[in-house]
Amino acid sequence: MQVLDVIKGFGIELSEEQQSAVMKAVGDGYVLRSDYNSLKTSYKKLKGEKEQLEQRDFSAIEADRDKYKKDYEGLLKEKNDGIKKSKLFEALGDCKDKDYVLYKLGGVDSVEFDGKNELKDTEALINKAKELAPDYFGKVPFVVSKTSGPNEDVANKKEQANTALRSLFGKE
């Protein structure tokens, strides 16, 4: 707000010559009291924030920043390793113990991937895995679940077991 606006607010009309004389007398540094008070309040607030910042331990802040950066990089590597591991497991196909074969290969870091996290030279990798752990590839052996006696229908066995428990506790 200009000084001339304040004068006009009082209902006083000034000529051009009077307006220029008032502006020259007041100068450019004139500030209304309300504007001065708000600027003074802002100044005090900013001065307090500056003092708080000067009291902070920036070495601790930098250490926290470094820790968070290290944690982020670790999580990013873990995510990328998980993606690479799943692609490798997919390529190993009918392998019996994919984690062991990955261990024999030297881990995820030893397997080469391109920029899109796709396996490089998949055939050579599978052949190397078969050389390192030949027993883990091929057909899964047939497992026999029962070795003697006839096969029985177990659908009514649950009721027989419940009846036996009720009779044991005397709650028939």
pLDDT at residue 47 tops 90 = yes
* Banded pLDDT at 119 (limits 50, 70, 90): confident
pLDDT tens, residue by residue, 52-61: 888 878 888 8
Cβ(96)–Cβ(140) under 8 Å?
yes
pTM: 0.44
Instruction: Read off the pLDDT of each residue in 119-137 and give the average, rounded to a whole number.
Output: 82
**Count of alpha carbons within 13 Å of 8, Cβ hemisphere only?**
9
pLDDT at residue 29 tops 70 = no
Owner of token pair 């883990």: 136
pLDDT at residue 113 tops 90 = no
Cβ(47)–Cβ(20) under 8 Å?
no
Q: What is the Cα Rg of the chain in Å? A: 42
pLDDT of residue 153: 62
pLDDT tens, residue by residue, 9-19: 888 888 888 88
pLDDT of residue 151: 62
Rounded mean pLDDT of the chain? 81
